[in-house]
Structure 1
Amino acid sequence: MRATPYLATTVRILDQLKADRRTVAMIVVVPSLLITLLYFIYQDYPTPPGAPTMFDRVGLSMLGILPFVMMFLITAIAMQRERSSGTLERLMTTPIRKIDLLGGYGTAFSAAAAVQAAVACAVSFWLLGMTTAGSVWLVVLVAVVVAGLGVALGLLASAFARTEFQAVQFMPLIATPQLFLCGLMVPRNQLPGWLEAISNVMPLSYAVDALNQVSVHAAPTEQMWRDIIVVVAFAIVALGLGAATLRRRTP
């Protein structure tokens, strides 16, 4: 990866994001608002003595799920806009390398994802009183990694869409099954065997498992690091596949 084109692409995408106030609001504000809504939903939910509250249990998982969903949508739409507007096509006529382009896009959106995850965690822990056995910074780390996964999958999904509307349509195909099978609704070990097998090859399952480890262990565990590594590996593979789609559509 060459520094100059990589940094130029990163700065360009960040400038575009900064100029789009609605997108900035969606990235920074919407996940925090949804977590706040979840807090009020479970505010009066009965909790057995000594057990974590329902908000702590569900809200912690949502700190990983919401950044994933939001960054998937935003990245897929933004990248498809680059393709349909001809910007990507013009860039491919220059000597810039695919890895420089993809690295720039991924870094810019991942930086936005890091801000999103940090703000959502700050609201959850310091404003709404969420508690975990582990460090808040471990939750932030997992949330940032999962948001990066959303960025990678969004870049990949945009390659198969012809319009921004089609990019949105990949949401039910890629993200929704993971929401159902990640362990948020039913523990994965209680799923039917064939569904558990499917959940084992879905990256969001490992993100939720990592957050569950943080919720019950004061110190980082080997399983938590393993789960994070699996999520990172999925993101790298998605970025690699995304690089393979960066082709000129005209001779």
Structure 2
Amino acid sequence: MTTSTGTSTSVPPSAAPFVRAKAISYSRTTATATRVLSQLRHDPRSIALMILVPCVMLVLLRYVFDGSPRTFDSIGASLLGIFPLITMFLVTSIATLRERTSGTLERLLAMPLGKGDLIAGYALAFGSLAIVQSALATGLAVWTLDLDVTGSPWLLLLVALLDALLGTALGLFVSAFAASEYQAVQFMPAVLFPQILLCGLFTPRSNMHPVLEALSNVLPMSYAVDGMNEVLMHTDVTAAFVGDALIVAGCALLVLGLGAATLKRRTP
């Protein structure tokens, strides 16, 4: 490295990673995404879990409340966002854990592939599947199961997609703390179940104990449910809906960043 006076200075070894840091590369990111999608193509069970299970659950829910369609209308929109989040969390955490424990991630990081490229590639791959999943579930709920929404179905699709991306980000993050697929599944009660109980699905959050209400205010699933309810009750895009969507998107980006930070962890 040369200073302004023309003298040459050496870069300390500890600073080398920062000097070599590069912006996220489109080609490396898409190559990573293509590799992940190619692997998933040979795993029909994971594809079925991501694509079909949310649709099956919505159909089951619709006919559970066959005699009370208004009940389905009141909770169907919320579950339209929760189901993709759960399935993407499970699939992403298990798929990423396999690559951590097999040493694939360590080998990739030894190549000219930055952590940003890697995490963006995973997000792109699973995000592509999330788009398909959310589109199928939303279309099924609105045009086949007659989910009655006041607002635009496209807004439902947007929130469902953000929820699926949030589930992807959470799955990438928690995979760093599991040593086996069984342990990855065990994280679901710890990470998702409290959010399901406190998101306002069963009772308005304002009716909860003040401590639980305060806790629900910092959980992203609460804002996903609030966003779905805004679409359910309003014909136009409201400021509350925009705020809810931005919070869910911001949480997804934050967790993706945390997931990138865990890539420095070495697997045994």
TM-score (norm 1): 0.95
Match of 2:59 in 1: 36
Contact 2:54 2:84 in 1 (8 A): yes
Residue of 14, 24, 27 corresponding to 2:37: 14
Match of 2:161 in 1: 144
Match of 2:12 in 1: none
Q: Report the alpha carbon displacement of residue 108 of structure 1 after superposing the two structures with TM.
A: 0.5
Match of 1:131 in 2: 148
What does the per-residue CA deviation read over 1:209-235, in whole Å, with 9 as the maximum and x for residues that have no partner?
Answer: 000000000011010010010011111
- Report the Cα distance in structure 1 between the residues aligned to 2:259 and 2:186, rounded to whole angstroms: 18
- Report the Cα distance in structure 2 between the residues aligned to 1:70 and 1:171, rounded to whole angstroms: 10
Q: Which residue identity does 1:171 align to in structure 2? A: M
What does the per-residue CA deviation read over 1:55-103, in whole Å, with 9 as the maximum and x for residues that have no partner?
Answer: 0111110000000000001100000011111111110111210000000
Q: Report the alpha carbon displacement of residue 248 of structure 1 after superposing the two structures with TM.
A: 5.5
SS at structure 1 position matched to 2:266:
coil
Contact 1:149 1:235 in 2 (8 A): yes
After superposing the two structures, state which structure 1 stretch, 16-25 or 75-84, moved more: 16-25
SS at structure 2 position matched to 1:246:
helix
Q: Which residue identity does 1:161 align to in structure 2? A: A
SS at structure 2 position matched to 1:27:
helix
- Report the Cα distance in structure 1 between the residues aligned to 2:72 and 2:241, rounded to whole angstroms: 21
Residues 116-195 of structure 1 mapped to structure 2, 5 A cutoff: 116-195=133-212
Taking only aligned residues, the RMSD between alpha carbons, in angstroms, comes to: 1.2
- Report the Cα distance in structure 2 between the residues aligned to 1:230 and 1:250, rounded to whole angstroms: 32
Q: Which residue identity does 1:177 align to in structure 2? A: P
- Report the Cα distance in structure 1 between the residues aligned to 2:123 and 2:183, rounded to whole angstroms: 21
- Structure 1 runs, 4 residues or longer, greater than 4 Å off: none
SS at structure 2 position matched to 1:245:
helix
SS at structure 2 position matched to 1:201:
coil
Residues 19-98 of structure 1 mapped to structure 2, 5 A cutoff: 19-45=42-68, 53-98=70-115
- In our comparison, the structure showing a higher alpha carbon Rg is 2
- Report the Cα distance in structure 2 between the residues aligned to 1:36 and 1:208, rounded to whole angstroms: 19
Q: Report the alpha carbon displacement of residue 114 of structure 1 after superposing the two structures with TM.
A: 1.1
TM-score (norm 2): 0.89
State the identity as a percent. 48
Contact 1:92 1:248 in 2 (8 A): no
- Report the Cα distance in structure 2 between the residues aligned to 1:103 and 1:73, rounded to whole angstroms: 19
Contact 2:150 2:234 in 1 (8 A): yes
Match of 2:258 in 1: 241
Q: Report the alpha carbon displacement of residue 250 of structure 1 after superposing the two structures with TM.
A: 7.3
